[in-house]
Amino acid sequence: MSTKEERPTLAGAQIKTRKRNIAVPLDPGSFADAVITICEDAKEGDDGLEKNLGAAVKGLESANLDFSRYGDTLFEVLFAGGRMAAGGNVVGEGKKLEFNVMASEPNRDSILPYVKVFQTLIRRRPFLIKALENTLVKLLKSLDFYEEATRVKLAIATARIFAVKLGCLPDRVLPSLMNDRMVAKGTILQFVTEFFKDFLATDTIDDLVLLLRKAKLDNRLLDFFPPQKRTLQELDAHFKSVGLDKLVEYNSKKVAETHLEELNSGLVELVTADPPHPVADCVAMVKAKKQEWELPDTEVIKIIWTVLIDGLNLVGKNAQQITGAVLKQVRTYKALLTTFAATARLEAALIVHVQVACYEDSKLLKLFSDIVRILYDNDILAEDTIKWWYTKGSHPKGRGVFLRDIEPFIKWLDEAEEDEDDEEE
């Protein structure tokens, strides 16, 4: 019977553990104390905050600190003077940094030097962006535990961080403001008001809208208001009272666009239903929505025309068939068109819109003059309106082509007018 020969072994050999398998215990307290010590040692009397912070950054850069592991702790110290516990408070044990964002004055000049420190640190260590985002989220979720002045400081700091483009993503930070409890108490409204004021002091309303859009908050301005004040009137009054008229103007435009889209959708449902709803129902619905939402007359008539033309199936049809379909649609919905194109100004808006629509749709490009003739024959466009468009009211899009195509119709109108004058004589 054979036995398996034992392999030789090395007595006393030490097996090395791979470094990546060694678990190093987390010690954010020691890291925070080290950061505070470096910042305090770098402070040189009363040389000014910027110089002291600049010296502190140099000290941090030369220190052998594990920023990748304790990035959150670094920013907690710079914001609050120490490590933060639940509720946004600074933990009791350990050192405290006397100069920090929350200990500064509630104005941009006092807070901007700290943002420059963040910028310097992130420029050399881009991975710290995530740590800054984490710290901002923690602070925003704790706003309710701070005094009003502290919330103002945090709002200014947050606005500056996004204004100087440190790399923080709005969709990772700003949605944390949507806390029902803090919204109901008005805490969030106060914060975003100071945030908007500071951001717009150096950037444009378009920049702010882009920021909010990235955070998916551009359509949710009303959600920042307590439920009992969640009306457009309250929004306008509040932001106007703090000098944010541009924000009010933007929101009004955004609300109007939303309502126009809803009007468009509602009218499409009525027109494309099988069978289509009576024209009277269309008129009543448009009237009601126009009055309820205070929609501009010119935008309403544009939507009506667009819906009526889009409701036609023009695929595979020749010019004659398309003209016949437009004629039938105009006759069917004549009451709808005449109701909302009841003045010369609205007729002018309609003919210009028809021109642009024909220019942008290849199937209608050569039918503009025919469509104008249809609208004239059905008493929707007056002769004076057509002549005004021909002489000075046309849109630049396709102007040369359309003016040339409609010239015979204009001559016909002039000759008809001359014949009427002769008969009167």
For 167-192, the pLDDT digits (tens) are 999 999 999 999 999 999 999 999 99
- Phi then psi dihedrals of residue 90, to 5 deg: -85, 135
What tens digit of pLDDT does each residue of 277-317 get?
999 999 999 999 999 999 999 999 999 999 999 999 888 89
Helix, strand, or coil (residue 218): coil
d(CA 279, CA 330) in angstroms, rounded, equals 11
What's the mean pLDDT when you consider all of the chain?
90
List of residues 6+ apart from 168 with CB closer than 8 A = 129, 132, 133, 136, 161, 162
Q: How far is CA 410 from CA 36, 153, 305, 370, 417, in A?
A: 83, 67, 23, 12, 11
- Above 90 in pLDDT, residue 134? yes
Amino acid letter, residue 95: K
| pLDDT, mean of residues 378-401 | 95
Mean pLDDT, residues 379-403 taken together: 95
pLDDT at 89: 76
* Amino acid symbol at 1: M
In 11-107, which ranges are continuous DSSP H helix? 28-42, 49-62, 67-80
What are the CA-CA distances from residue 245 to residues 200, 218, 239 (Å)? Answer: 11, 16, 7
Range 381-388 average pLDDT: 95
Is residue 76 packed enough to be buried (19+ CB in 10 Å), middle (13-18) or exposed (0-12)?
Answer: buried
42 exposed, middle or buried (CB, 10 Å; 0-12, 13-18, 19+)?
Answer: middle
Given this structure, which CATH class describes domain 253-424? mainly alpha
Which residues make beta-bridge pairs with 212? none
| pLDDT over 80 (residue 92) | no
Contacts of 100 (CB under 8 A, 6+ apart): 77, 78, 79, 80, 81, 114
- Quick check: 67 and 28 in contact, CB under 8 A? no
- What are the residue ranges spanned by the domains of the chain? 27-243, 253-424
CA-to-CA distance for 424 and 420, rounded, in angstroms? 6
How many of the other CB atoms lie within 10 Å of CB of 53? Answer: 20
Rounded Cα gap, residues 302 and 172, in angstroms: 39
Confidence of residue 54 (pLDDT cuts 50, 70, 90): confident
Planar angle of CA 345, 350, 353, nearest 5 degrees:
125
Tell me the per-residue pLDDT of 234-291, one tens digit each, with 9 for 90 and over: 999 999 999 999 999 999 988 899 999 999 999 999 999 989 999 999 999 999 999 9
pLDDT over 60 (residue 11): no
Alpha-carbon distances, residue 141 vs 38, 188, 207 (angstroms): 29, 10, 25
Q: For residues 80 and 78, give the distance between their C-alpha atoms in angstroms, rounded to a whole number.
A: 6
Q: Place 397 in a pLDDT band, splitting at 50, 70 and 90.
A: very high
Residue 84: strand, helix, or coil: strand
Structure tokens, 264: 């468009």
Percentage of the chain surpassing pLDDT 90?
75
Q: Report the pLDDT value the prediction gives residue 15, as an integer from 0 to 100.
A: 47
Tokens 């949507």 locate to: 178
Contacts 24+ apart (CB under 8 A), 121-130: 121/57, 121/60, 121/67, 121/74, 122/166, 122/167, 124/61, 125/67, 125/68, 126/167, 127/67, 127/68, 127/71, 128/67, 128/71, 128/74, 128/75, 129/166, 129/167, 129/168, 130/71
Looking at residue 5, its pLDDT comes to 61
Encoded amino acid at 96, one letter: K
| Residue from 230, 151, 227, 231 nearest 193 by CA | 151
Give the amino acid at 219: N
Predicted confidence band of residue 43 (pLDDT cuts 50, 70, 90): confident
Q: What pLDDT band is residue 22 in, cutting at 50, 70 and 90? A: very low
DSSP 390: I
- The residues, any chain, with a CB within 8 Å of residue 246's CB and separated by 6 or more, are 200, 205
What pLDDT digit, counting tens, does each position of 188-235 carry? 999 999 999 999 999 999 999 999 999 999 989 999 999 999 999 999
Across the strands, what pairs with 90? Answer: 84
pTM of the shown model: 0.74
